[in-house]
Amino acid sequence: MQADYQLIIIGGGPAGLSAGLYAARGRIKTLLVEKGAPGGQVLLTDWVDNYPGFTEGVSGFELIEKMTAHVDRFGLEKKFAAVTRLDLPGPVKTVFLDNGEKLTCLSIILCTGARPRKLGVEGEEELTGQGVSYCATCDGPFYKGQEIAVVGGGNTAIQEALHLTKFADKVTVIHRRDELRATRILQEKAFANPRIDFLWNAQVRKIEGDANGVNNVQIAFKDGSAMDLAVTGIFILIGVAPNNEILPLEQLQVDDAGFIISNTEMETSIPGVYVAGDIRSKNFRQIVNAVGEGANAELSAEQFLAGRKHEAGPH
Ligand code: NAP
């Protein structure tokens, strides 16, 4: 069967880079396609403290720099272009790029990742970039000496609230329940930090501001009460949404939120099509998981290419 590549990996975050590393070492004719710079959501993270081997922690930027250097050492071919469309069901799969190119391959690993979820309240859209942010690493330094808010109670919200205390005088965490979802060590650090306050059982109703940016957040509590919180910035860190716009969702099995369903071998419902990282339907989104899934997906693809595994399909 003729195709430009044996394998195309879509997305250059930790999952895609890990798959690329295994493919390059397996001498599989592979292309990794990435629309921006490699890295994905890790680049939104200031500090990674739970990646094994980095005993003192590592910045998101440095971790990606090292992962990229690692695939480069084994000569992985990369192309920087946006995928506009995919044709997946047949034995030869086609990847359409925004530069007009059309590439064919025999197997594909989807590593398109996820992006921060939006709150969907009044003022959020209009004030994005003017006080409303989804990335503490990118925008934290703008809030030196100011009072800001963080929405959410997961790992991202608490880790980034801690990071934001390096700049802001006060960080108020607004959480819709009365306990955090974040891992214990982050909770302990946040509760011990004098610059972090909590508003429990609290939901943002409206974000207000003017030409100078955000100046107030309207908050409603479970018991029916309400308050205004005067802040100049609000970081919305409430989970992730799938980057699935370019995926043929009618051809793939996806969950209710639009994440791709696979089995433990990373096989999707289409033979020769694999998934890894945050775009995969699962409970836990960790860098180590993404990296493990990338390796697993590539090894499954290798078996498929060698004809040792015939059909794919999750459930
Ligand atoms: P998450 O774990 O899904 O937590 C989302 C948080 O936002 C939850 O506290 C949730 O409240 C809240 N929330 C969701 N929708 C909301 C809404 N409409 N209004 C108000 N609050 C809302 O998401 P995440 O913290 O972004 O993390 C994503 C994944 O990355 C997770 O698997 C996480 O473990 C991982 N991660 C890991 C690390 C780390 O290991 N250090 C760091 C960052 C991220 P409820 O609790 O009430 O549901």
Full DSSP string of 187-221: HHHHHH-TTEEEE-SEEEEEEEEETTEEEEEEEEE
Task: State which ligand 1 atom lies nearest to the alpha carbon of 119.
Answer: 18
Instruction: Say what the pLDDT of residue 313 is.
Output: 59
pLDDT digits (tens, 9 = 90+) for 241-282: 999 999 999 989 999 999 999 999 999 999 999 999 999 999
- The answer to the question of residue 295 being in a domain is yes
> What proportion of the chain, given as a percentage, has pLDDT over 90?
91
183 CA to centre of ligand 1 in angstroms: 11
Separation CA 58–CA 55 (nearest Å): 8
How far apart CA 74 and CA 59 sit, in angstroms, is 23
CATH of the domain at 208: 3.50.50.60
CB 6 less than 6 A from any atom of ligand 1: no
Give bridge partners of residue 227 from the DSSP assignment.
219
Across the strands, what pairs with 121? none
| Spatial distance between the Cα atoms of 105 and 80, rounded to a whole number of angstroms | 17
Which band of pLDDT confidence, cut at 50, 70 and 90, is reported for residue 44? confident
Q: Which of 105, 111, 139, 278 is catalytic?
A: 139
Strand partners, 260: 254, 280
Quick check: is 276 in a domain? yes
CA atoms within 13 A on the CB side of 81: 19
Residues 227 and 255 placed together within one structural domain of the fold: no
Q: What is the identity of the amino acid at 220? A: A
Q: How far is the CA of 221 from the centre of ligand 1 (A)?
A: 20
Domain count, the chain: 2
153 within ligand 1 shell (Cβ under 6 A): yes
Within 13 Å, how many C-alpha atoms sit on residue 304's CB side?
27
**Catalytic-labelled residue, pool 138, 178, 210, 255:** 138
Range of the domain at 182: 132-236
Q: In the predicted model, what is the mean pLDDT of the chain?
A: 95
CB atoms within 10 A of CB 56: 5
The sign of the torsion formed by the CA atoms of 31, 34, 37, 41 equals: negative
Rounded average pLDDT over 12-30: 98
- In this structure, the answer to whether residues 145 and 53 fall within a common structural domain is no
Q: What is the dihedral of CA 300, 301, 304, 310, to 10 degrees?
A: 60
Query: Could you tell me the distance, in angstroms and rounded to a whole number, from the CA of residue 80 to the centre of ligand 1?
Result: 30
Q: What is the pTM of this model?
A: 0.90
Whether 127 is in a domain gets the answer no
